[in-house]
């Protein structure tokens, strides 16, 4: 384990505020997150996968916020993480909800390579789409499309809404405000726990559903 990495128990303590007391936590979750963190720290020392470098902060902000989102997706069986970067929120969602069919879309090659490495190491069935979401066959759609910290959120929401058959789950900072929601409507706005500065989880649902 790299000196700066964290144990499964330390990770469990750090993410506890983001998990509801009745959350069904799969037995391997914290060991899997520890392996994921170890890989992320190793890769991040060479390539810039995330600007957050401090392990506790990575666990709180990236893992914690993603796990929090995983509990507010409602009923779904397929999920697209639009602009997954180093795997947020899609990978922690996959670990907390292993029954979901998760696709991580990431257009930057080095980040997609990292995602494939995590998926392979953890033995997951998660799909990595190493291209722009817009390049997916038009027939591909998902129950939920999740977006977090994607630049030009309005354009991303427009592209994401073409792929979402039920809901968009948007993790945005309070400063960003709500993006233009196309044919979706805002159904929930939840302030995330922890010290995260005004970060909100916005859930939008198609009018027709
Ligand atoms: C600022 S990063 C955020 C990554 C991650 N969602 C997070 O919260 O840490 C945005 C990522 O979205 C990717 N991205 C932006 N537009 C995309 C698109 N249309 N299709 C696929 N990936 C996209 C970028 O390459 C970048 O890695």
Write the ipTM: 0.99
Rounded Cα distance, 69 and 64, in Å? 9
Q: What is the pLDDT of residues 49-70, one digit of tens each?
A: 999 999 999 999 999 999 999 9
**Domain presence at residue 3:** no
Residue whose CA is at the smallest distance from ligand 1 atom 16: 83
Ligand 1: centre distance to CA 21 (Å): 31
Residue numbering of the annotated binding site for S-adenosyl-L-methionine? 83, 88, 133-134, 148
Closest by CA to 118, choosing from 37, 62, 51, 54, is 37
Give the pairing type, strands 78-82 and 101-105: parallel
Residue 163 pLDDT more than 50? yes
**Domain presence at residue 64:** yes
**Domain presence at residue 103:** yes
Rounded Cα distance, 173 and 109, in Å? 26
pLDDT computed for residue 95 by the predictor: 98
Rounded Cα distance, 125 and 182, in Å? 32
Residue whose CA is at the smallest distance from ligand 1 atom 19: 132
Minimum mean pLDDT among 80-89, 93-102, 153-162: which range? 153-162
pLDDT computed for residue 167 by the predictor: 86
**Domain presence at residue 167:** yes
If you average pLDDT over residues 63-78, what whole number do you get?
A: 93
Ligand 1: centre distance to CA 24 (Å): 29
Task: Round the average pLDDT of the chain to a whole number and report it.
Answer: 89
More confident residue, 208 or 150: 150
Tell me which residue range forms the domain holding 118. Answer: 8-206
pLDDT over 90, % of the chain: 68
**Domain presence at residue 1:** no
Domains in the chain: how many in total?
1
Residues with CB under 6 A from ligand 1: 83-85, 88, 105-108, 111, 132-134, 148-150, 159
What is the best residue among 84, 87, 133, 168 to mutate for testing ligand 1's pocket, by most ligand atoms within 8 Å of CB?
84
**Domain presence at residue 2:** no
Cβ contacts of residue 203 below 8 Å, gap of 6+? 72, 74, 167, 168, 169, 170, 186, 187, 188, 189, 190
Rounded Cα distance, 136 and 132, in Å? 7
Place of tokens 């959350």: 23
Question: Domain of 108: which CATH number?
Answer: 3.40.50.150
Ligand 1: centre distance to CA 119 (Å): 18
If you average pLDDT over residues 187-209, what whole number do you get?
A: 66
Closest ligand 1 atom number to CA of residue 111? 27
Residue whose CA is at the smallest distance from ligand 1 atom 9: 88
**Domain presence at residue 68:** yes
**How many other CB atoms sit within 10 Å of the CB of residue 195?**
10
Ligand 1: centre distance to CA 147 (Å): 8
Residue 187 pLDDT more than 90? no
Ligand 1: centre distance to CA 133 (Å): 10
Q: What is the pLDDT of residues 95-134, one digit of tens each?
A: 999 999 999 999 999 999 999 999 999 999 999 999 999 9
Q: What is the pLDDT of residues 20-45, one digit of tens each?
A: 999 999 999 999 999 999 999 999 99
From residue 160, alpha-carbon distances to 8, 140, 194 in Å are 34, 11, 28
Closest by CA to 196, choosing from 44, 21, 13, 52, is 52
Residue numbering of the annotated binding site? 83, 88, 133-134, 148
**Domain presence at residue 128:** yes
């Amino acid at each position: 384990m790299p000196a700066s990495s964290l144990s499964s128990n330390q990770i469990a303590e750090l993410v506890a505020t983001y998990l509801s007391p009745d959350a069904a936590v799969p037995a391997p979750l914290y060991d899997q997150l520890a392996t994921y963190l170890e890989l992320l720290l190793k890769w991040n020392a060479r390539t810039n996968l995330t600007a957050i470098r401090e392990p506790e902060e990575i666990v709180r902000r990236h893992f914690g916020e993603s796990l929090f989102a995983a509990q507010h997706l409602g009923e779904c069986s397929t999920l697209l993480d639009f602009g997954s970067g180093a795997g947020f929120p899609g990978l922690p969602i996959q670990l907390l909800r292993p029954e979901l069919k998760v696709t991580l879309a990431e257009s930057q090659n080095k980040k997609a390579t990292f995602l494939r490495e995590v998926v392979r190491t953890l033995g997951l069935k998660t799909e990595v789409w190493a291209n722009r979401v817009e390049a997916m066959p038009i027939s591909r759609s998902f129950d939920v499309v999740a977006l977090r910290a994607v630049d030009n959120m309005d354009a991303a929401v427009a592209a994401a809404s073409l792929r979402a058959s039920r809901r968009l789950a948007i993790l945005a900072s309070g400063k960003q405000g709500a993006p233009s929601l196309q044919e979706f409507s805002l159904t929930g706005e939840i302030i995330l726990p922890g010290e995260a500065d005004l970060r909100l989880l916005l859930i939008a649902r198609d009018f027709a559903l």
